Amino acid sequence: MVVQNNLDIGDARKGVLLEPFVHQVGGHMSMMKYDDHTVCKPLVSQEQWFYESLPMAMKRFTPQYKGTISVHLKKDSMGNLSLIACPQTDRRSSLDNALKECSLTIWQKLNQANPSNGDHAFVKWNQEQLANTIKESCQDKAILQSDLQYPGDVSALMEDANGNQEEKNSYNPWGLHCHKQHLNRMSSKYNENKPHQFLLLENVVSKYKCPCILDLKMGTRQHGDDASEEKKARQIKKCEQSTSASLGVRICGMQVYQADTNQYLCKDKYYGRKLSSDGFRQAIYQFLHNGIHLRTELVEPIISQLKALLSVIKKQSTYRFYSSSLLINYEGLDKAMPLNCQHTNCSVPQGNSHPKVDIRMIDFAHTTYKGSRNNQTVYDGPDHGYIFGLENLIKIVQSIPV
């Protein structure tokens, strides 16, 4: 399957210059923005097979699968690398046109501006600088579509594993860190004629102005059946030393909009690994707090959706969702937003056009089930480690005072 017909890919003669997806809060594989409603990630066969045989009952809890696309790593005359997704027809022309129109990606421009700062060069740019860079990079060209979902004056405040606040950035640093690592890996075996296959998936936070996102690693076991003994030992140790063992769930990443400061509070997987069970409970509370008050209206929708997911998972016999994550998403802006938000470019959501809370399972590269290809082990019954995590998560959210 290549790009499905329902995708709006614009002019078929143009390539699409992929950009880092700035709302990635966890994981290690780089997510890229394809268009406003679609993200893409490097294809792993086991994950593709899962999406193509997805049980109907699970579809409401997973991103819409939109097919696959070929992506080329292209190097310009200055040695700068670009990731370009090409329509099936006239692929070579698409690559050349993309490089002529945008010789530098946003990432490359920002990294060149401050090369000494490594992974964090991109996120040091504020919104105005980023907007100017986008405008300069592709003046009046549709090929470069920026993901400017952060309001003009909203920044991100990252906390380290010990809860200390690091410097303020315009974007959540984690996705950009993943993107740079991905480019480095691809460039080490650079071959512009070799296509790389990517999965196309629904951007599940595209409907939000200021998306608040919690990435939870689910289950008591994280290693897949195909893991080496070394990796298996590492993953077991991570679980034993974190809430994965005690609760069946741990925090992999988070961003939550703070209405009092007009910033995002961001936390990464290293923070999540160090949390005790009580610390995990406090983090869930913090995820629902906007700096002014607790978003109590979200508690019941979260519980309701988690219970619905639990009912579905209990019926999925032989499935094991090893190393998968659960996203809990909601709109950071509400109707009671304070005055200091009014000077941003965000409009406060009106009506009930979208549900208050959106819960999705993601990352199925190590998921196995009866009938899946290359599976060496067939398990009986549902994934009890995942169920254990969901049940504890429900109890923790239920304990939040409303």
Q: Which of 132, 138, 267 is nearest to 212 (CA)?
A: 267
Question: 71 or 165: which carries more pLDDT confidence?
Answer: 71
Decide: pTM greater than 0.85: no
Percent of the chain clearing pLDDT 90 (strictly above): 52
Residue 241 has pLDDT above 50, yes or no: yes
Question: 300 or 196: which carries more pLDDT confidence?
Answer: 300
8 Å CB contact between 328 and 213: yes
Which SS3 state, helix, strand or coil, does residue 186 take? helix
Q: How far apart are CA 237 and CA 232, in angstroms?
A: 9
DSSP string, 11-39: -TTS-EE-EE-TT--S-SSPPEEEETTEE
Q: How far apart are CA 362 and CA 23, in angstroms?
A: 14
| Count of C-beta atoms within a 10 Å radius of residue 29 | 14
**Poorest-pLDDT segment among 37-51, 143-157, 205-219, 235-249:** 143-157
Mean of all residue pLDDT scores within the chain: 77
8 Å CB contact between 257 and 210: yes
Q: How confident is the model over 339-361, as pLDDT tens digits?
A: 444 334 444 444 444 568 999 99
8 Å CB contact between 152 and 197: no
Q: How confident is the model over 52-91, as pLDDT tens digits?
A: 999 999 999 999 999 999 998 887 777 777 888 976 544 4
Residue 382 has pLDDT above 90, yes or no: yes
Q: Which of 27, 362, 363 is nearest to 178 (CA)?
A: 27
Q: How confident is the model over 167-221, as pLDDT tens digits?
A: 455 557 777 777 777 777 776 765 666 888 999 999 999 999 999 999 999 999 9
46 φ, ψ (degrees, to nearest 5):
-65, -35
Q: How far apart are CA 25 and CA 204, in angstroms?
A: 13
Rg (CA), the chain: 21
In sign, the C-alpha dihedral spanning 342, 347, 352, 354 is: negative
8-state DSSP, 294? B
What pLDDT is stored for residue 98 in this prediction? Answer: 44
Residue 262 has pLDDT above 80, yes or no: yes
Question: 174 or 337: which carries more pLDDT confidence?
Answer: 174
How far is the CA of 362 from the CAs of 27, 176, 195, 346, in angstroms? 10, 19, 24, 28
8 Å CB contact between 88 and 71: no
What pLDDT is stored for residue 169 in this prediction? Answer: 53
Percent of the chain clearing pLDDT 70 (strictly above): 68
What pLDDT is stored for residue 131 in this prediction? Answer: 43
**Could you tell me whether strands 38-42 and 32-35 are parallel, antiparallel, or unpaired per DSSP bridges?**
antiparallel
How confident is the model over 150-175, as a mean pLDDT? 56
Residue 271 has pLDDT above 90, yes or no: yes
What pLDDT is stored for residue 132 in this prediction? Answer: 43
